[in-house]
Amino acid sequence: MTYYVYIIQSISTSKFYTGMTNDIERRLNEHNGHSTGTSTTLKLHDYQLKFCQVVENRIEARKLEKYLKSGFGREIREEIIK
C-alpha cells in the first residue's frame, strides 16, 4: 500500500507538523477540520501542505517521518520547505 510522509504549516503561526498517512487528502482535511487525534494540530485550522513524499509502505513512511522529526532531519526539512 502506498503511504505519504507530509509536512504541513500553519498560516497564522508558521509552525510545522510532520506526519504520515495512506490518504493525504483525507488527512489534511482532518487536520483542518479538527477531527484528528493529534493534539499539536487541534487548535488551528489553517494548515497548508508544504511537502509530500510517496513511499512504498508503512515501514518506510515511518522511517522517513522519524528522520524528518530528528535533529538533522529538521535542518533538512527547512531546506525542503525553502
**Which pLDDT belongs to residue 44?**
76
Residue in the structure block whose three cell numbers are 495512506: 22
Give CA–CA dist 78/23, Å, rounded: 24
Residues 10 and 47 sit within 8 Å (Cβ to Cβ): yes
State pTM to two decimals. 0.86
pLDDT (tens digit, 9 = 90+) per residue, 43-67? 778 899 999 999 999 999 999 999 9
**Which pLDDT belongs to residue 46?**
87
Give CA–CA dist 50/1, Å, rounded: 23
Q: Strand 3-10 to strand 47-55: parallel, antiparallel, or no bridges (unpaired)?
A: antiparallel
Give me the residue spans of the domains in the chain: 3-81
| Domain made up of 3-81: CATH architecture | 3-Layer(aba) Sandwich (3.40)
